[in-house]
Chain A
Amino acid sequence: MATKLKEVDVVVVGLGWTGGILGKELAEAGLKVVALERGAMRTPAKDYAVPFIRDELRYVVRHDLMQNTARDTLTIRNNPSQEALPMRRLGSFLPGEVVGGSGVHWSGHTWRWTDMEFKVRSMYEERYGKNFIPADMTIQDWGITYAELEPYYDKFEYTAAVSGKAGNIKGQIQPGGNPFEAPRAREYALPPLRTILSSELFAEAARNKGYHPFPRPTANASQAYTNPDGSVFGACQYCGHCQRFGCEANAKGSAQITVIPIAMRNPNFELRTNSWVTKVLKDSDGKRVTGVTYTNVLNGEEFEQPAGMVLLCAYAINNVHLMLLSGIGAPYDPVAQTGVIGKNYCYQTGASATLFLEGRHFNPFMSAGGSNVTVDDFNINWDFDRGPHGFVGGYNVGSGFNSPLPIGYRPVPRGTPQWGKAWKAATAKWYQTAMNINASGAVMANRYNYYDLDPTYRNAFGQPLMRMTFDYKTNEHKMGEHAAKVINEIARSMNPTHLTEAAARTQPWTVVPYQSTHNTGGTIMGTNPRDSALNKYLQSWDCHNLFVVGANVFPHNASYNPTGPVGALAYWTADAIKNRYVKSPGPLVPA
Chain B
Amino acid sequence: MRGGKLIPVAALVLAAGAARADGDAARGEKRFVECAACHSLQRGVNDIGPTLYGIFGRKAGEVGDYRYSPALKRSGIVWTEGTLDTFIADSQATVPANRMPYAGMPNAADRADLIAYLQKAAQ
Contacts and interface: CB of A to CB of B under 8 A. Distances in A.
Interface of A: 44-45, 48-51, 224-226, 232-235, 237, 239, 248-251, 257
Contacts of A250: 37-38, 47-48
Interface stretch (B18-26, B78-86, B99-107, B115-123): B99-107
Contacts of A50: 99, 101
6 contacts: A45-B46, A45-B48, A224-B33, A225-B33, A234-B102, A249-B48
A13 to B, nearest CB: 29
Contacts of B46: 45
Nearest to A44: B48
Contacts, number: 49
Interface of B: 33-34, 36-38, 46-48, 67, 69, 99, 101-103
Contacts of A239: 101
Contact of A224 (B34, B47, B67, B99): B34
B48 A48 contact: yes
Contacts of B34: 224, 234-235
Nearest to B47: A45
B33 A226 contact: yes
Nearest to A234: B37
Contacts of B38: 234, 249-250
Given A44-B48, A49-B48, A250-B48, A237 B103 contact: yes
Classify the secondary structure of A's interface with B.
Answer: loop
Contacts of A235: 34, 102-103
A226 B35 CA distance: 11
Contacts of A45: 46-48
Given A234-B38, A248-B48, A250-B38, A49 B33 contact: no
A51 B48 CA distance: 11
A234 B101 contact: yes
A105 to B, nearest CB: 17
Contacts of B102: 234-235, 237, 249
A249 B100 CA distance: 8
* A48, A234, A237, A250 interface centre (most CB from chain B within 10 Å): A234
Given A224-B33, A224-B37, A250-B38, A44 B101 contact: no
A248 B69 CA distance: 14
Contacts of B33: 224-226, 232
Nearest to A257: B37
A191 to B, nearest CB: 15
Nearest to B36: A232
Contacts of B103: 235, 237
* B38, B48, B67 interface centre (most CB from chain A within 10 Å): B48
A371 to B, nearest CB: 15
Given A45-B46, A249-B38, 12 more contacts: A49-B67, A50-B99, A225-B33, A232-B33, A234-B37, A234-B38, A234-B101, A234-B102, A235-B102, A239-B101, A250-B47, A250-B48
Given A248-B48, A250-B48, A49 B99 contact: yes
A14 to B, nearest CB: 25
B70 to A, nearest CB: 10
A78 B47 CA distance: 46
A45 B34 CA distance: 17
A51 B38 CA distance: 15
